[in-house]
């Protein structure tokens, strides 16, 4: 299986079961994950997230299961250099955006410019709609959710960019289903699709070819994502698409 949305590094609001990349890799492997796209949690809080990318890359095993996903803030003057260095020197397989933590809208001009550049570079872009439920956040550190509607507008404006909606909820999938189906460059991941029979409903709404396995580990329990697969009444073809094939095509692995 391939996990499209894992993290490494410390989280300032609670202790995580794993923070070091090696420990995250072990946790994922024990759950049956063969490869995982991993991004640095520190990037949400650093003035320049690229420093967090470099710190994470220095800790990754060259032959390990973790693939670097570079966090980039398109409102910074150095974002184009960060994108180039992330791909050419760090070996990033994708880019992640955190519009809420970095204080911009996903359909803003800087975000659209980055999507276009990432599309030209052949790097998928994961746009994280939320890291966790607003109710679980520290009372003095409430970070609002990113608009799924605006994120889809950004994806529509950059047809060459392959966009993954990270942290999306089932209600948003259903509400935006027709738009997602109409955009061939959009996928979702499962880490926060939390609902009774949620995976089955997501498949009915947009199709298994638009869904990727994402655990959100170590912020979320890896087993909860695997339970979604077990309870989803998946055909062999659906399971293969969601757990492997879609991610392989996106990441070229």
> Residues 82, 113, 95, 58: what is their CA dihedral angle, to the nearest 10 degrees?
0
Query: What domains appear along the chain, each with residue ranges and CATH number?
Result: 2-251 (3.20.20.140)
Look at residues 180, 176, 144, 143 and name the one whose alpha carbon lies nearest to residue 164.
180
Partners of residue 38 on adjacent β-strands: 6, 68
Write the burial class of residue 39 (CB in 10 Å: 0-12 exposed, 13-18 middle, 19+ buried).
buried
Tokens of 120: 């030209």
Supply the pLDDT for residue 6: 99
Supply the pLDDT for residue 135: 84
pTM: 0.96
Supply the pLDDT for residue 137: 82
The whole-angstrom separation of Cα 3 and Cα 34 is 8
Supply the pLDDT for residue 52: 98
Within 8 A by CB and 6+ apart from 139, the residues are none
3-state secondary structure of 139: coil
Supply the pLDDT for residue 212: 99
Supply the pLDDT for residue 139: 85
Supply the pLDDT for residue 133: 84
In the chain (253 residues long), the average pLDDT of successive 10-residue segments reads: 98 94 98 98 97 97 95 98 98 98 98 98 99 85 96 98 98 98 98 91 98 98 92 95 98 92
DSSP string covering 173-217: HHHTHHHHHH-TTEEEE-TT--STTHHHHHHHHH-GGGEE----T
Supply the pLDDT for residue 136: 81
Enclosing H/E stretch for 241: none
């Amino acid at each position: 299986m391939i996990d499209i949305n894992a993290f490494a590094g410390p989280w300032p609001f609670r202790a995580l079961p794993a923070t070091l990349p090696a420990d995250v890799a072990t946790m994922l492997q024990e759950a049956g994950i063969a490869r995982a796209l991993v991004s640095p949690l520190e990037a949400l809080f650093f003035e320049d997230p690229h420093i967090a990318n470099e710190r994470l890359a220095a800790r990754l095993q060259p032959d390990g299961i973790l693939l670097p996903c570079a966090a980039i803030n398109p409102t910074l003057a150095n974002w184009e250099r960060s994108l180039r260095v992330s791909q050419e020197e760090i070996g990033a397989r994708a880019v992640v955006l955190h519009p809420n933590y970095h204080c911009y809208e996903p359909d803003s001009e800087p975000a659209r410019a980055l999507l276009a550049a990432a599309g030209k570079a052949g790097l998928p872009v994961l746009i994280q709609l939320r890291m966790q439920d607003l109710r679980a956040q520290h009372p003095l550190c409430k970070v609002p959710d990113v608009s799924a509607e605006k994120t889809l507008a950004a994806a529509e404006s950059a047809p060459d960019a392959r966009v993954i909606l990270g942290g999306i909820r089932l209600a948003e999938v259903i509400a935006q289903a027709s738009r997602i189906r109409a955009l061939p460059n959009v996928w979702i991941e499962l880490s926060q699709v939390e609902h009774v029979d949620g995976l089955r409903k997501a498949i009915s709404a947009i199709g298994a070819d638009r869904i990727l396995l994402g655990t959100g580990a170590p912020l979320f329990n890896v087993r909860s994502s695997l339970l979604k697969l077990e309870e989803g009444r998946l055909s062999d073809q659906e399971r293969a698409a969601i757990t492997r094939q879609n991610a392989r095509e996106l990441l070229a692995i």
